[in-house]
Amino acid sequence: MTAAFLSLQRVHKSFALADGPLPVLQDINLNIRQGEFVSIVGGSGCGKSTLLRLLVGLEEASGGSLLLENEPIRGTDLARGIVFQDHRLYPWLTVEDNVLLALANAPLSKAQRHELVQEHLALVGLSGFAKAWPSQLSGGMSQRVAIARGLVNRPKVLLLDEPFGALDALTRAQLQDELARIWLAEGITTVLVTHDVDEAVLLGDRVVVMEPRPGRIRRVVEVNLPHPRRRDQLELVQLRQDILQDFSHSPNTALA
Amino acid sequence: MALLSLISRYDWRGWVLPLALLLVWTLSTAFDWVDTRLLASPLAVLSAFSKAALSGELWVDLSASLIRNLNGFALGVLAGLLFGGLLGLSRQAEHWIGPTFHALKQIALFAWIPLLSAWFGFGEPAKVTFIALAVFYPVALNTFEGIRSVRRELYEVAQVLRLSPLQRLRYLVLPSAAPALFTGLHLGLIYAWLATLGAEYFFSAAPGIGNSMIDGREHFHMDQVLYGLMVVGAVGLLLNRLAQSLERRLLRWRDHR
């Protein structure tokens, strides 16, 4: 077996509360290959977002190890990009400057930076909006800018924290297709956290199903279907039904 | 037609009350309904004003007041920005000095006058210090609150993008704090003008628009008092407009909603 690109071993996380520690993640073991697209799906409170925050380095694990290319993950790093559920653009910067901000410390000339920004705005289909203010964009467009910002540093891993969760169904479907296209074009290792089983199976090479209290992995489902996929593919529909079964047993683990 | 639509579109309602007051004022002085020694007629005020303007007396007073105002404002802003910035950026500073600051700001501005006059006398230094003190509180408080208003979510973006402390200040903290900062400067500008007049009333006599009004009262020149009042109002309005247009320019990004 080849060494994992991104590896989580016996990862444990608990939050310190007034009445003692509250375990949110327990014994998470997961190995992710280079270039792989892994979806993590689960209901609210299963710790999936916390898991992503550990990977990006905004939180520290209470135990176990997280390794990227055999190097322990400590703090944030440009090698790990993230797109949050809320776009988190800086409202006082134009679209272009928001993406440029990610290159603030890149050892590049001004011209190179601008070229990279233009290239990534084009990648997310927003070439004409470089000078627009975030407040002038729709939710879907804002999220595209956030994706461009997450990619512009050419990170080794792209982390997506329910990136389309706040969008309407039509925009969400459109952006899912675009994400599949971008991922195929860039070949970047991607971890997507979502509560949407459809989204998880549509995009993921593997789907990690989590269950709550404390958050742990219930099972990992392989999606052996070539990309890009069609939503109405029979195998996909069957997989979705299969995974949804996991959530139908107990009502308090139902999906949001 | 174009003129008509311009007239109908312009909101003239705000002019009704001042014009009515002017009318009542004119009539009451013209028909001696009031003692003109206590309320000079609009025409008398206008002629006193033009006399003072032509003789240059008005400009001496006005420029003296404005320079005093700006000196105090600059000093107060500098101190307020530094202090508010320190309090906002350093938790330690907040723990050690914050409570004292919040307690001291409860003291009414005019209550400082006896202390200031004991320390700085009655001359220009006392006046400028008094104005600076008036400016200091709103500027310091709003700077502090502005810096503290940085959203956690946006701070995390700065962490993820590995921005240096200086870059965080430039791209995140300052823009986040800018609206509050401007509120502070704006309030400071209003308070400075208020304090300038106060300083001229309470400290020793020297050229100044407030002083010329006191002179007017002492010599029973109500026309002088009244035009002084109008000049003070006009300057206040102008300073306010200036601050607003500056604010709008620098916070352009907020207009696109």
DSSP symbols for A110-148: HHHHHHHHHHHHHHTT-GGGTT--GGGS-HHHHHHHHHH
Q: Are B209 and B226 in contact (CB under 8 A)?
A: no
State the smallest CA–CA distance between residue B70 and chain A in angstroms.
30
Does residue A220 share a domain with residue A112? no
All residues at 6 or more sequence positions from B62 whose CB lies less than 8 Å from its CB, including other chains: B209, B231, B235
Residues of B in contact with A92 (CB under 8 A): 175, 178, 253
Name the pairing type of β-strands A157-161 and A20-32: unpaired
Domain count across chain A: 2
Question: Least CB-CB distance to A76: which of B153, B160, B175?
Answer: B160
Measured CA to CA, the distance from residue A178 to residue A35 in angstroms comes to 17
- CA closest to B160 among chain A residues: A76
Is the entire prediction scored with pTM above 0.90? no
Does residue A170 share a domain with residue A142? no
Q: Could you list the residue range(s) of the whole structural domain that residue B99 is in?
A: 42-248
- Inspect the interface and report whether the beta carbons of B253 and A91 lie closer than 8 Å: yes
Residues B6-34, mean pLDDT to the nearest whole number: 86
CATH number at residue A40: 3.40.50.300
- Whole-number average pLDDT of chain A: 89
Does residue A102 share a domain with residue A52? no
Q: Could you list the residue range(s) of the whole structural domain that residue A141 is in?
A: 90-154
Which residues in A236-245 are b (16+ Cβ under 10 Å) and which e? beebbeebee
Domain count across chain B: 1
The pLDDT tens digits for A36-95 are 999 999 888 888 899 999 999 999 998 889 999 989 999 999 999 999 999 999 999 999
- Tell me the ipTM for this assembly: 0.88
Is there a domain that residue A1 lies in? no
CATH number at residue B96: 1.10.3720.10
Does residue A168 share a domain with residue A56? yes
Measured CA to CA, the distance from residue B39 to residue B223 in angstroms comes to 8
Does residue A181 share a domain with residue A59? yes
Partner A contacted by B175 (CB < 8 A): yes
Question: Least CB-CB distance to B161: which of A92, A93, A101?
Answer: A101
* Percentage above 70 pLDDT, chain A: 96
By CB neighbour count within 10 A (0-12 exposed, 13-18 middle, 19+ buried), where does A47 fall?
buried
- CA closest to A78 among chain B residues: B161
Does residue A163 share a domain with residue A73? yes
Residues of A in contact with B178 (CB under 8 A): 92
DSSP-assigned letter for residue A215: B
- CA closest to B154 among chain A residues: A88
Q: Are A185 and A32 in contact (CB under 8 A)?
A: no
